[in-house]
Amino acid sequence: MSNDGLGVAIRRGRLRVENSVPAPERAIRILVLSGPSGSGKSTVVNRLIQTTTLPIEKAVSATTRPPRPHEQNGVDYHFLSPEEFETKQAAGEFLETAEVHRTGHWYGTLRSEVERAIGQRRWSLLEIDVDGAAEVRRAFPGSLLIFLKTKSLEEYESRLRGRGTESAEVIARRMQTAAAELTRAADYDFQVNNDDLDRAVGEIVGIVEEREAQIDAGSV
């Protein structure tokens, strides 16, 4: 499979890029953003996409959970039935999948989402959990991984309760998961504090710009 003559193809978790293509265009531009529930990932991603001049395209995740109010299919998520998700999983259409927070709902990144962006020489932005990030790093060691966090566990809980969308039981599970995820923050290339939205987005932009410059210089 190829896109626009770039010779980019995904096969069993790998991107193959033809050596005849110049190095900056062969580069695997995958940006992974992770962080506990309540760290503001979606808000940061939306602001980043809306304001940056960098060539970044969000990879829309697939999920089996029901849509929340105002969420749009194909924009916020690809909403799939459990049967549809299992079929795509069996067919190898996902780059990574995970059952999140022991809710019974599955999430995954479709290979086609990543392939399209890279085929257009754009950054593919994945908003995924720490397990999914580890899968992506194993498949693509050159991926750029950023961990988003707040100042304390109490802040995560306050933000989750402020949503008004989860039960106390679900919030408790998410807090347990958050504590575990924070222990893996050191596995990421960078950690960004999201105590100020504009500052956090600006820091992420700076990180990506630096990596893009390294790609252009052929140093990565």
What DSSP string runs through the chain?
A: --STTS-EEEETTEEEE-TTS-HHHHS--EEEEE--TTS-HHHHHHHHHHH--S-EEE-PPEESSPPPTT--BTTTBEE--HHHHHHHHHTT-EEEEEE-TTSS-EEEEEHHHHHHHHHTT-EEEEE--HHHHHHHHHH-TT-EEEEEE-S-HHHHHHHHHHH--S-HHHHHHHHHHHHHHHTTGGGSSEEEE-SSHHHHHHHHHHHHHHHHHHHHHT--
As annotated, the binding site for ATP includes: 35-42
Residue positions in the annotated binding site?
Answer: 35-42
Q: What are the structure tokens assigned to 71, written together?
A: 């969420």
Residues 174/37, Cβ–Cβ less than 8 Å:
yes
Say which amino acid occupies 24. P
